[in-house]
């Protein structure tokens, strides 16, 4: 009996079985990944329950000594959005000044963005409208690109229909996902927008996937949440745009922000970068609010005049 050949035959059979197992496992893993990417991507992209308590615990502007109205508005598809509307006490600023709509970054709720709202209200003396997308904070529903666009439309129309704010100049501000929302609004309502400010946002969700989930980069064709800012931004040709980029952004590659700046067709576009700023802390860096103040006076005020 040739034990060597028997051993080799056994080895070959075992190798074949192992490869077959690994192949099947790989296919199974890929199949699972494909299913998750397609059917569960809204849950992955919009972590509306993070951090814990975000769906039930929402800080209010009075914590920052800001008077406000707690407003609920109905969307055209039956959801209820919660808004904090912070109006200046001075009648001239309230009725003839500027109003910023803050489009929130992902995760959390509008209460987590109150430090930013406070700066706009107290330093720039803007009226401030802050809202939670559907499925975030105390707003009803489940988030999706189509749904959040309806939410943004609803809030924009609310501002334009409010008796105090209807004649104010509207500025759109968005961080990360909020930047994509703000770009969407600026493209759709450009004639009614006085200025656009975006911070640490991305070209599109498919363009971001290879950075956040490298294993899924070959399956971006399955992505149905797109947020195509790279397609929308070039259509904004008249509105002043301020780009605020944290160069240590660990979530959105700063190169994507720079690309957005490069493809922007507005003749009044401004680039400001912050060397040691990460994705969530750029607004805390020296020069951040000075950049917004300068942009407001140099570009928005001139457009209004």
**DSSP code for 216:** G
Q: Which of 169, 249, 291, 296 is catalytic?
A: 249
Phi, psi of 142 (to 5 degrees): -125, 135
Radius of gyration of the chain (CA): 24
H helix or E strand, kind and range, residue 212: helix 205-212
Under the phi-then-psi rule, with left for phi > 0, alpha for psi from -120 to 50, and beta for the rest, what region is 287? left
Q: Where are the alpha helices (DSSP H) in 162-272?
A: 177-188, 205-212, 229-232, 254-263
Phi, psi of 154 (to 5 degrees): -60, -45
Sheet holding 241-246, edge to edge: 69-74, 80-86, 127-131, 98-103, 169-175, 195-199, 241-246, 269-274
Distance of CA 296 to the CA centre of its chain: 22
Give catalytic status of residue 176 as yes or no.
yes
Give catalytic status of residue 279 as yes or no.
yes
Q: Which of 176, 229, 266, 296 is catalytic?
A: 176
Give catalytic status of residue 2 as yes or no.
no
CA-to-CA distance for 121 and 194, rounded, in angstroms? 17
Terminal C-alpha separation, the chain: 99
**Contact between residue 116 and residue 103 where contact means Cβ atoms under 8 Å apart:** no
| Pair type for strands 127-131 and 98-103 | parallel
Q: Which of 153, 164, 279, 294 is catalytic?
A: 279
Q: Give the residue numbers marked as catalytic.
A: 176, 249, 279
């Amino acid at each position: 009996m040739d034990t060597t050949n028997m051993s080799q035959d056994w080895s070959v059979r075992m190798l074949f079985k192992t490869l077959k197992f690994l192949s099947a496992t790989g296919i199974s893993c890929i199949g699972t990944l494909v299913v998750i990417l397609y059917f569960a991507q809204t849950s992955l992209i919009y972590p509306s329950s993070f951090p814990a308590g975000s769906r039930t615990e929402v800080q209010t502007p009075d914590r920052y000594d800001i008077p406000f109205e707690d407003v609920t508005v109905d969307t055209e598809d039956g959801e209820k959005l919660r808004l904090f509307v912070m109006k200046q006490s001075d009648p001239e600023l309230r009725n003839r000044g500027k109003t910023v709509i803050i489009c929130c970054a992902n995760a959390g709720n509008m209460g987590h963005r109150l430090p930013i709202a406070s700066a706009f209200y107290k330093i720039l003396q803007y009226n401030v409208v802050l809202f939670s997308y559907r499925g975030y904070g105390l707003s009803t529903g489940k988030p999706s690109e189509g749904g959040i666009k309806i939410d943004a439309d609803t809030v924009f129309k609310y501002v334009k229909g409010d008796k105090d704010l209807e004649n104010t100049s509207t500025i759109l501000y968005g961080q990360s996902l909020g930047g994509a929302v703000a770009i969407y609004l600026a493209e759709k309502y450009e004639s009614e927008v006085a200025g656009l400010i975006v911070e640490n946002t991305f070209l599109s969700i498919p363009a971001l996937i290879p950075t956040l989930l490298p294993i899924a980069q070959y399956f971006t064709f399955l992505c149905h949440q797109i947020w195509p800012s790279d397609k929308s931004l070039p259509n904004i040709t008249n509105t002043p745009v301020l780009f605020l980029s944290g160069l240590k952004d660990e979530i959105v590659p700063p190169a994507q922000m720079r690309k957005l700046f490069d493809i922007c067709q507005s003749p009044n576009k401004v680039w400001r970068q912050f060397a040691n700023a990460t994705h969530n802390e750029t607004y805390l860096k020296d020069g951040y609010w000075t950049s917004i103040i300068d942009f407001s006076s140099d570009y928005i005020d001139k457009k209004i005049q």
